[in-house]
Structure 1
Amino acid sequence: MSKPRFLLSLTRKIFDVCYDSSDQQELQSLVELVGGIPSRTEYISGWLLKNIKEVEACITGWGSISLDDELLDKAKRLKILFHTAGSVRDLYDKAIKRKIRMVSNAAINAIPVAEFALGAILSGLKGVYHYQEQFRKEGRIAWKQDISISPGYYRTTVGIISLGHIGRKLLKLLQNFDFNLLVYSKHLSEREANRLNVKKASLNELMSHSDAIVLCVPDLPENRHMVNAEHFALMKDNALFINVARGALIDEADLVNELKKGRITAFLDVTEPEPPEEGHPFYTLPNCILTPHIAGSFGNECYRLGKATLDEVKRYLKGEPLKNELSLGEFFYRA
């Protein structure tokens, strides 16, 4: 009996990053990869045009070529896309309009992002970032505890902006602590807020009452610069603002202006653009912690993405319900 015919719309490099050797072997035992595993030089639109017409499913991920109308016109047998990464908008909007099923790993990639945000919160609420900067400037005489910058975890307030995949996973982690939890979400009802044991808040309320704030909003046009000078000015002295979403969601110039006052601290894993331009204040402001977009799956965490995709492929082949399939509405609602 012949195997189902799949297309691996990934380069060998990305395939190796996201699928360990055992998962690669299992995938290839289950399906025929038409055209094999392309190298970086082989992976061009012409290669896709040649091979996509023969397959019922396509596995994609970071760096995959967008499926435009020319490719989709050739893909007469294509039924489903398995996206090894998270974001699918702009890549496959034409595919989903043709009622091609789509699986996204956004919920899987949210796991390390939530864990990263938790680490930033826990470090920040103990004043780690402040203390390190003081030691660098003053040395031994800075060895003193300061409750104003180390409120700790008991009954301090953490605000989560948006309750999508990342927000919900972060919320679950935070519920192991004695935090007061505020959530700003247009889609959260009072009933669900009560069930989750959180308080629903407006954006202004959340910004003004939280000791640590985590932005995890989807990168949609309507959310651009949703956090700006008005909101940063509302933050409590010594509060922490964490962005693990996208840089374009905040007005970075407004954030710089607020940081220069020395009142608050920012932890930015994302910026607009990435990296910031040479000489940008984010590199030198003492109250800005900058990381190069590492909150999402990185290193060994990438293998979780491949494993999740393989599991979905196995469910599909058995005719079972898929865990991470996107509906048409979800596709355009999520980033």
Structure 2
Amino acid sequence: MKTIIVDPFPRKMELIFKSSKLKLLKKKFNIINAPKENKLKFYKQNIPNADFIIGQPDLPKSILILGKKLKAIFNVESNFMDNMDYDYCFNNNIYVLSTAPVFAQSVAEIAIGLTISLKREIHKAHLDFIQKKEKYGLESNKRSSLLLNNKIGIVGFGDLAKSLKPMLVPYTSDFLVYDPWLPNKLIEDNGCRPASLSKIFKNCEVIYILTTITKKNKNMIDEKLLRLMKKDACLIILSRANVINFQDLNKILKKGKIKVATDVFPQEPVPKNDPIRRQKNILFSSHRAGALNSVFFEMGEIVYEDLNLITKGLPS
């Protein structure tokens, strides 16, 4: 029987596995639950017996080298964090597998909702009505506009962007993409045009931030780029918050020139006195875009399937 170290924090196994699937997992595999504290001691003692790890714990080379049987690490947080020796894993045939693709569809759908609400100011009209100061007809649409035929900018062309782009095709065929990790041909094969950040921020009516965080792109979206945006252009921030310089974003929002929607923040929960809460031209979503029960259970399904495939010696 293969052995799994279970250490999914900040997730819980009950979140990502249906009860029936969790029972199967416990029946087919020897499960060792990691403690909340003294993890270094725990891994030194237990990783020599582990075939798999579900989670994304700190795994320096000094620990990984003890895992002679280790075949795969399942990252269920879905962000590749700088806390394990990936080079050692790759050089020693230890798969590091991310469950991030499960979030693509759900986040893409909420992206459409945020976009339409920004363009047509649905959220503002709703709030006005509640506050008994609603405006009717054209009076309520002075800063509204159509999404149809807009030029769309996409920063980061991974799984999320590839799910979102087909949803936008009924509205437009004009897509600019910035992703320095991808060859231009791949971007073009997906019906988009490669572009620089400055070109995207200067020319697009709607811009999506969909990139992961790296050592080089922290605070990449700064005041200089934000100032390039057209009046009433929409910026939708869906991953990751540290790509945006939020201090600069606050400065730009005060001017009232652009519209912003964000599902992520540099600090979560957002402090009650954070100045971002006082901004007017922003639509808030509390990091909920991908958080659906069905999505987390899908995460468990792909982990379970891959565990079985690797146990059978696949891929060979």
TM-score, normalized by the shorter chain, greater than 0.5? yes
CA contact (8 A) 1:270 1:293 kept: yes
Say which of 78, 82, 85 aligns to 2:70: 78
Gaps of 5+ in 1: 323-335
**Paired residues for 1:41-80 under 5 Å:** 44-60=39-55, 64-80=56-72
Structure-to-structure mapping, 1:259-298, within 5 angstroms: 259-298=253-292
> Paired residue for 1:307?
301
- Hey, what's the Cα distance between the residues in 1 that align with 2:74 and 2:313? 15
Supply the AA of the counterpart residue of 1:57.
F
Tell me, what secondary structure is at the counterpart of 1:219?
coil
SS of the residue corresponding to residue 216 of structure 2 reads helix
- Give the counterpart of 1:144 among 137, 150, 159: 137
- Does structure 1 retain, via aligned residues, the 8 Å contact 2:152–2:206? yes
Give the corresponding residue for 1:115: 109
* Percent identity of equivalent pairs: 22
Does residue 161 of structure 2 align to residue 167 of structure 1?
yes
1:201 to 1:11, Cα distance in 2 relative to 1, 3 A: closer
Segments ≥4 residues shifted beyond 6 Å = none
1:259–1:287 contact (8 Å) kept in structure 2: yes
* Whole-angstrom CA distance in 2 between matches of 1:260 and 1:132: 22
Counterpart-to-counterpart distance in 1, 2:201 and 2:132 = 31
Write the letter of the residue equivalent to 1:304: E
Contact 1:126–1:150 (Cα < 8 Å) also in 2: yes
* CA displacement, residues 65-93 of structure 1 (integer Å, 9 cap, x when unaligned): 31234432432221221222311332322
- Normalised by the size of structure 1, how large is the TM-score? 0.82
Over 3 Å counting, the alpha-carbon distance change for 1:58 and 1:156 in structure 2 is same
Asked whether the equivalents of residues 149 and 171 of structure 2 are also in contact (C-alpha less than 8 Å), the reply is no
CA distance in 2, matches of 1:185, 1:98: 27
Question: Contact 1:245 / 1:270 at 8 angstroms: preserved in 2?
Answer: yes
For the residue of structure 1 that corresponds to 2:219, the secondary structure is coil
Paired residue for 1:93? 85
Which of 1 and 2 has higher RCO (CA within 8 Å, sep 6+)? Answer: 1
2:237 and 2:223 map into 1 onto residues whose CA distance is 15
- For the residue of structure 1 that corresponds to 2:176, the secondary structure is strand
Distance 1:8 1:169 in 2: 30
What displacement does 1:135 show? 4.1
| TM-score, with structure 2 as normaliser | 0.87
- Residue number in structure 1 paired with 2:176: 182
Mapped to 2, the partners of 1:196 and 1:291 lie a distance apart of: 29
Q: Give the whole-Å Cα distance in 2 for the aligned partners of 1:6 and 1:32.
A: 6
What's the RMSD between the two structures over aligned residues?
2.7
**Residue matched to 2:227:** 233
Does the Cα contact within 8 Å between 1:193 and 1:200 map onto a contact in 2? yes
Q: Is the 8 A contact 2:121 2:144 kept in 1?
A: yes
**Residues 130 and 149 in structure 1, CA contact (< 8 A), matched pair in contact too:** no
Secondary structure class of the residue paired with 1:310: helix
Q: Please state if 1:16 is matched with 2:14.
A: yes
Alpha-carbon distance in 2 for matches of 1:215, 1:298: 21
Q: How many residues align?
A: 313
Question: Does structure 2 conserve the Cα–Cα contact (< 8 Å) formed by 1:5 and 1:57?
Answer: yes
Separation in 2, partners of 1:43, 1:114:
39
| Equivalent-residue separation in structure 1 for 2:170 and 2:182 (angstroms) | 21
